Amino acid sequence: MMARYAPWWVVHPTDPKPVPRRPVRLVLINPRSPESFWSFRWALRELLPDKRAINPPLGLATLAALTPVDWEISIFDENIEPLPTDPKADIVGIGGMAVQFPRQRELLHYYREKGYHVVIGGSYASLSPSTYEGLADTLIVGEAELVWPEFCRDFEHGLPGKQYCQPDPVDLRHTPTPRFDLLNLSAYTTASLQFSRGCPYLCEFCDIPVLFGRKPRTKTLAQIHNELEALRPTGIHDVFFVDDNLIGYRPRAKALLEFLAEYQRSHDYPFSFGTEVSVNLATDPELLGRLRAAGFRWVFLGIETPDMASLAEAGKKQNLRGNLLDAVRVFYRNGIDVFSGFIVGFDHDTVETFERQYRFIEASGIQVAMLGLLTAVPRTPLYERLQRDRRLRLDVQPGDNTGGQTNVVPLRMSYDEMAAGYAALCARLTTHRAIATRIRNKLRYYRESPVPRQRDGQASRSVLRRLITRGISKGGLGCVASFLWSLWGVRPSLWSLACQDWAAGFSIREYTQRYIQNPPLEERMFTERYISRLARKLRNPITKGCFKIDLEPFRKPVRLRMVIEQKCGTLDLKAALATLDHLLRGFRTLTLVLVLKELPTGCNLYLRQWIDRLGHYSDRVTVEWEEALIHGIDSSRVAVTTRTSG
């Protein structure tokens, strides 16, 4: 197929220099991420209906800033908005991480088939470029600051290369302010900034030292000032410094915190910050004090495990230098909330490890405890060691480590024991009682609330009302009792923090129930019976060959597959919608896959509206069609995927 970039400049017969007729048009896309521990879908859906996702795609906004100023650029994030089926563009650039790879592949294929020049980049393309062989016209490997402008120049001259590789770490002091103006920031709960890249530590499983090196590089304070100034008029208050370890280079971290404290003071504290740091920050009271003074309200710590042998095995030396529980409480005492990652599946882990993890997480009071299975990401020391030992499962894609699957074959327990122990631990951590216990174990260490004073009292009250009506009261008497117990004797100034933890707890609980736990036997039997009733109800259209229904109750999540044939009419669809709606509302662990062989004739519009209505169930509904995008269907509301067979 003729590439679309060819016609936008012409060559005069006597002058070989290309004469541009119009600017190059670039569309940048962040593919939809599958639901995970990190997506907090319950809180977004039930409490913050005007928000669609947690973080905007900062990498794409930075790439846009590196693009020639006369190019026309637009950014689409499939997590918050539909993707254009036929964008007015010369180049379609797709980014993303390993978890987004299946969707990246579909979109690359779709836009390439349509004749666009398709570029792929992002962390997974940098870690595993061979995975993308043949999928894109141009592959960007590594940091983009130097190679992206080079690609743009080559493209303007009609000679885009196949691969641009950045072998060495780039100097961040020249990175421009991200094009925040191209992002719909109001659709996210948090904006993102980056001060540094790289981490001095070398945890065996981590891809950061591989991607960004061990010598942390930082932006200048003037750059951060410009970025804050660009964000301030947007009205965004919550800002996440996406640095992998903000204190990787302490002298510069200190200077940054001092600058931020001054900035906040002089602008009446417009921002509330969060970031990732290593646990050993707890041993540096001066730096911790500066973190708090700068307006940091939460940190993400990589605690991973309370087992010293497993920490030593993973090379996580910075976690071995003190008592981890004490470290967490130091943050609480300084008014900083703690989120943390935990991992099971290290070589030293046995079936007893699950109990130790549970006791630690409970005692620490950490509500946002991202529990994952050890996963080997390509090019990490762990991946290379396990490859040598032939302990990699090649049938599992190393992406999200919180989905109950991993590519690592464990050493001191069987794979099934590990998966079952993991599912049981996730379930235990998300009972109402466990959520409440952790809140109490946390709040007793607080001297003041880390939740900033509310700027919009009415909005906060309505979030609280929704939490009570859609979460607490729906959880039954046990949930109400646990909620009240979690607040019992707690200072009212800390109640907002407790409510935040309940929202996080409900979100993680919903994800766990749907994707990690095995659905209870009674629920599976009940679903089966109900589906038989559905089949009876839709007997006529099924006999006419309009639908095929098929239930897979023993997989996670329980999946109802409905094939809609071309002969299906509006009346048949109406009957099906009423029952499916009822079914999805009644069975929270049920997911629905609608397979469209062809768009039914005559009820095209109705079908699109119908699918749009099912968008209320978000990740629970997937539409399979022959293409990755269907005109008129919002792929940010229901997952649209390419039908591969049958």
Categorise residue 394: left if φ over 0, alpha if ψ from -120 to 50, beta otherwise.
Answer: alpha
Of 64, 38, 67, 68, the closest CA to residue 53 belongs to: 38
**Minimum separation from the CB atom of position 200 to ligand SF4 (A):** 7
Q: State the minimum distance, in angstroms, from the CB of residue 212 to ligand SF4.
A: 9
- Residue 77, SS3 per DSSP: strand
Q: Return the number of other C-beta atoms located less than 10 Å from residue 66's C-beta.
A: 19
- Looking at the Cβ atoms of 305 and 500, the one nearer to ligand SF4 is 305
Strands (E), 469-537: none
| Among 178, 209, 553, 557, interactor with ligand SF4 by CB under 6 A | 209
- Single residue of 75, 97, 203, 299 touching ligand SF4 by CB under 6 A: 203
C-alpha to C-alpha distance for 521 and 527, rounded to whole angstroms: 10
Q: How far apart are the first and last CA of the chain?
A: 27
Task: Give yes or no for residue 67 binding ligand SF4 (CB under 6 A).
Answer: no
How far apart, in whole angstroms, are the C-alpha atoms of residue 100 and residue 126? Answer: 14
Q: Does 182 bind ligand SF4 (CB under 6 A)?
A: no
Map residues 500-529 to x or -, x wherever contact with ligand SF4 holds by CB under 6 A.
------------------------------
546 lies in the site for ligand SF4, by CB under 6 A: no
Structure tokens belonging to residue 203 = 């945890």
d(CA 476, CA 519): 19
CB of 304 to ligand SF4, least distance (A): 8
Q: Which two tokens stand for residue 611?
A: 């699918």
Q: Please, which residues have CB within 8 angstroms of residue 49's CB and are 6 or more apart in sequence?
A: none
At residue 467's C-alpha, the angle toward residues 357 and 502, to 5°, is 15
Do residues 233 and 267 touch, judged by C-beta distance below 8 A? Answer: no
Tell me which stretch binds ligand SF4 (CB under 6 A): 204-212, 384-392, 395-403, 607-615. 204-212
- Exactly one of 183, 206, 614, 640 binds ligand SF4 (CB under 6 A); that residue is 206
Beta partners for 623? 594, 640
Smaller CB separation from ligand SF4, 82 or 315: 315
In the complex, least distance from residue 383 CB atom to ligand SF4, rounded to whole angstroms: 14
How many other C-beta atoms can be found within 10 angstroms of the C-beta atom of residue 141?
19
Closest CA to 93 of 125, 117, 123: 117
* Interface stretch with ligand SF4, choices 205-213, 418-426, 444-452, 592-600 (CB under 6 A): 205-213
Separation between Cα atoms, residue 268 and residue 200, nearest integer Å: 34
Cis peptide before 557 (omega within 30 of 0): yes
Binds ligand SF4 by CB under 6 A, chosen from 78, 137, 145, 244:
244
Which range of residues in 203-211, 352-360, 508-516, 582-590 is near ligand SF4 by CB under 6 A? 203-211
Q: Which of 33, 196, 245, 486 binds ligand SF4 (CB under 6 A)?
A: 245
Closest distance of CB 316 from ligand SF4, Å? 6
Tell me whether residue 316 or residue 514 sits nearer to ligand SF4 (CB atom).
316
| Interacting span for ligand SF4 (CB under 6 A) from 66-74, 195-203, 292-300, 365-373 | 195-203
Which ranges constitute the DSSP H helices of 24-86?
A: 41-46, 58-66
Site for ligand SF4 in 24-63 (CB under 6 A): none
Residue 196 binding ligand SF4, by CB under 6 A: no
Please identify, using beta-carbon distances, which residue of 275 and 513 lies nearer to ligand SF4.
275
Looking at 194-202, 430-438, 473-481, 490-498, which segment touches ligand SF4 (CB under 6 A)? 194-202
Q: How far apart are CA 12 and CA 57, in angstroms?
A: 41
Shorter beta-carbon distance to ligand SF4: residue 205 or 263: 205
CB atoms within 10 A of CB 494: 20
623: helix, coil or strand?
strand
Between 202 and 549, CB nearer to ligand SF4: 202
Q: How far is the CB of 208 from ligand SF4 (least distance, A)?
A: 4
**Radius of gyration in angstroms for the set of CA atoms belonging to the chain, rounded to a whole number:** 25
Instruction: Give the residue, chosen from 44, 136, 144, 199, that forms a contact with ligand SF4 under the rule CB under 6 A.
Output: 199
Binding-residue pattern over the window 462 to 501 for ligand SF4, x denoting contact by CB under 6 A? ----------------------------------------
Nearer Cβ to ligand SF4 (194/245): 245
* Contact positions with ligand SF4 (CB under 6 A) in 293-352: 302
Q: How many residues does the chain have?
A: 646
Tokens 């549970």 sit at which residue?
A: 358
How far is Cα 468 from Cα 232, in angstroms, rounded to an integer?
32
Nearer to ligand SF4, 29 or 281 (CB): 281
The values of phi and psi at residue 244, to 5°, are -75, -30
Please state the closest distance from residue 411 (CB atom) to ligand SF4, in A: 21
**Is 243 among the residues that bind ligand SF4 (CB under 6 A)?**
no
What is the smallest separation between the CB atom of 244 and ligand SF4, expressed in angstroms?
Answer: 4
Nearer to ligand SF4, 142 or 302 (CB): 302
Site for ligand SF4 in 85-104 (CB under 6 A): none
Q: How far is the CB of 207 from ligand SF4 (least distance, A)?
A: 8
Contacting range for ligand SF4; rule: CB under 6 A; set: 200-208, 216-224, 290-298, 348-356: 200-208
**Which of 44/206 has CB closer to ligand SF4?**
206
For ligand SF4, the closer CB: 364 or 500? 364
Q: What is the DSSP letter of 170?
A: P
Please state the closest distance from residue 218 (CB atom) to ligand SF4, in A.
Answer: 15
CA distances from 486 to 205, 326, 482, 502 (A): 36, 22, 6, 10
Determine the Cα–Cα distance for residues 288 and 450; give it in Å rounded to an integer: 14
Residue type, 416: D
Chain centroid, CA 538 distance in Å: 38
Q: Does 404 bind ligand SF4 (CB under 6 A)?
A: no
How many residues of this chain interact with ligand SF4, rule: CB under 6 A? 11
- Strand order, beta sheet including 163-165: 72-77, 25-30, 91-94, 117-120, 138-141, 163-165
* Contact mark string toward ligand SF4, 250..289, x via CB under 6 A: ----------------------------x-----------
Q: How many helices (H) and strands (E) does the chain have?
A: 22, 21
Cβ closest to ligand SF4, residue 23 vs residue 213: 213
Cβ–Cβ under 8 Å, residues 3 and 117: yes
Q: Of 86 and 384, which CB lies nearer to ligand SF4 in the complex structure?
A: 384
Among 42, 110, 124, 201, binds ligand SF4 (CB under 6 A): 201
Q: Does 208 bind ligand SF4 (CB under 6 A)?
A: yes
Beta bridge partners of 217: 197
- Joined together, the tokens standing for residue 358 give 């549970």
Q: Which residues bind ligand SF4 (CB under 6 A)?
A: 199, 201-203, 206, 208-209, 244-245, 278, 302
